[in-house]
Structures are given as structure tokens and as C-alpha cells.
Amino acid sequence: MTIEEMKRIKKEKGYSYTQIAQMSGVPLGTVQKVFGGETANPRYDTLQALESLFNGESGTHSSVREEEAAYGSVKKQGDYTVEDYYALPEDKRVELIDGVFYDMSSPTFVHQRIGGEIHRQIANFILDHKGSCIPLMSPVDVRLDCDNRTMVQPDVIVLCDRDKIMKWGIMGAPDFLAEVLSPSTRRKDCLKKLGKYLNAGVKEYWIVDPYKRKLIVYDLESGDYPSVYGLNGKVPVGIFGGRLMIDLDMIGEMVVDYPDEGRD
């Protein structure tokens, strides 16, 4: 069985990366890399374990459904709600977009450093200028459309309207959002989330692509977008009128190809 055939079955059945890892015995990080396209040629034992799962040799399809039923009703992708989101186990990280669950892999070391550095520079600027906006880092629940079908967790958030703060997170669109791309989230962050953020009223959206060493900036409020930068020099943050310049040289230095031993 090819990886593409497995991807087709995964999509049809609505399986998450976590479920595939639990039922096949393959480490979650490896599952994410195989299905995200980062690992083109999996090891033989990894491929055998995945084939056993998708061929149904170990009866795991029913086990996956049983696991889902334990914490919430089994529905078709597109029918899930915020209530289903809250019914998930606490250690299960997903985003809910228009009733569809999207599995969220654990961020890599580089991913965390980049998001943390953007947050640090913004937070320092707000603090130095005694601003009222609030900088935040994932995980923070954002009920983007104020409905019951979407809950996202952007990597970096700036919220200036404090009336949107709830005990559980944010109700409505923040002013500024940044996402750091990974192979498994590229399509979602670049297409699905872009449209959602635009329609919800987000003013500014940054996409950092560490693999292509680019920053894509969408000024959603004015419609003047996109602007594309290399990870060098300084780039203004539009919601602060350009008074804050993010130092991309520091972010570019963080894009390092670290060893991948120890995950399999």
C-alpha cells in the first residue's frame, strides 16, 4: 500500500495523527512526518505498521471508533462543534474550523523559538510604550467567528479589544496573528486560515515560512497584500503604525536544521 492510498483512507475515515499513532504503535512524530510529506521514504518497520493499520489486519478501525466514542459523539467532518472540541481529552491538541477537526502536531524547537521571538519583540514594544494591547502565545483558544463551529489556536496573538477576553480564551477576532508554518499545516495556514482571518476581521496576518526562509505579511484591514520578505532586515507591524519594527535577522538565525535522532 502506498502512502497516498493511506492518506486517502485517513481522509475518508477522519482519523487523526494521534489515533493512527495509538493504533499502529508508530510514534506520533513519525506519523506526522510521514503524512505531512516531510518523510518521503519511511523505514520498513514503520511502513509495515502503518500498512497493517490501514489494511485492517489488526482490527484497529473499530478500536479507533471506540476511542472516539469514549469522549464524544462520532460525527462526519464538518459537523463538529465547540461542544465536541471541549469533550476531547485534555492532551489532544486540535483546531476546529467550520466544523472540521484539524490535528495539531507538537511544535518543533525551531517553530517554538520563532514564535517566541516574535512574541518577545512585540511584548517588549507594548511594555516600553505602556500600551494596552495584550500579546499572547499558543495555546490560547480563539473562538474566531463567535459561533460554535470554529476554535483556533494561532501561534502569536495581539489583542487590543479587552472586551473580547473570556475566562477560557478570546471571543472574536484578535488584531494581529502570526503562524509559523510546518509541512503538515502549510495548506491550512496559507489558505484555510487566511480566508477565515480575513472574514472574521483580523487586521494583520503574518505567515513565517522557515523552510523557504520567507515572511508573508497580509494587511487585511487595508487590503494591501501580500508583502513578501526574506528573513533578514526589519519589517514594520502595521497595527502599531510602523512604530514597531520586527528584527528578522534574529529570526533568520534561528532557522537551523537540527538532528532528528530519537523520535523513532
Q: What is the pLDDT of residues 45-56, one digit of tens each?
A: 688 778 878 876
CA–CA separation, 193 vs 25, rounded Å? Answer: 31
Q: Is the pLDDT of residue 133 over 70?
A: yes
DSSP 26-43: --HHHHHHHHHTS-SS--
Q: Enter the DSSP assignment of 162.
A: G
Separation between Cα atoms, residue 44 and residue 224, nearest integer Å: 49
pLDDT at 72 over 50: no
**Of 93-107, 146-160, 216-230, where does the model show the most confidence?**
146-160
Mean pLDDT of the chain: 86
pTM to 2 decimal places: 0.72
> Which pLDDT does position 56 carry in this prediction?
60
Q: What is the pLDDT of residue 64?
A: 40
Judge whether residue 9 has pLDDT over 80: yes
Euclidean distance between CA atoms 26 and 85, whole angstroms: 25
What does the pLDDT average to over 118-146?
96
Report CA torsion sign: 24, 29, 32, 33: negative
Question: How many CB atoms are closer than 10 A to CB 37?
Answer: 12
Percent of the residues in the chain that have a pLDDT greater than 70, as a whole number: 89
Task: Tally Cβ neighbours within 10 Å of residue 67.
Answer: 16
**For 26-130, where are the E strands, in sequence order?**
94-97, 100-103
> What pLDDT shows up at residue 177?
98
For the cut 70, the answer to whether the pLDDT of residue 243 exceeds it is: yes
